[in-house]
Amino acid sequence: MEKVKTLDDLKKLKEQLKSTIELREKSNNPESHVQVKVAMATCGIASGAREIMSFFMDELRKRNIDAIVSQTGCMGYCYAEPTIELTIPGHEPVVYGNVTKAKADEIIEKHIKNGILVDGIIPVTYQNINKK
Instruction: Name the residues that contact other proteins, by CB under 8 A.
Output: 1-7, 10-11, 13-14, 16-21, 23-24, 26-28, 30, 39-42, 45, 53-54, 57-58, 61, 68-74, 130, 132
Half-sphere exposure of 72 (CA within 13 A, CB side): 22
Closest CB to other proteins among 84 and 118? 84
- Minimum CB separation of residue 3 from other proteins in Å reads 4
Q: Are 53 and 40 in contact (CB under 8 A)?
A: yes
Closest CB to other proteins among 65 and 110? 65
Nearest CA among 73, 102, 99 for reference residue 84: 99
Closest CB to other proteins among 30 and 89? 30
Phi, psi of 75 (to 5 degrees): -90, -5
- Minimum CB separation of residue 118 from other proteins in Å reads 23
- Minimum CB separation of residue 113 from other proteins in Å reads 21
- Minimum CB separation of residue 115 from other proteins in Å reads 23
Secondary structure in 3-state letters for 42-83:
HHHHHCCHHHHHHHHHHHHHHCCCCEEEEEECCCCCHHHCCC
Q: Are 72 and 38 in contact (CB under 8 A)?
A: yes
Closest CB to other proteins among 5 and 114? 5
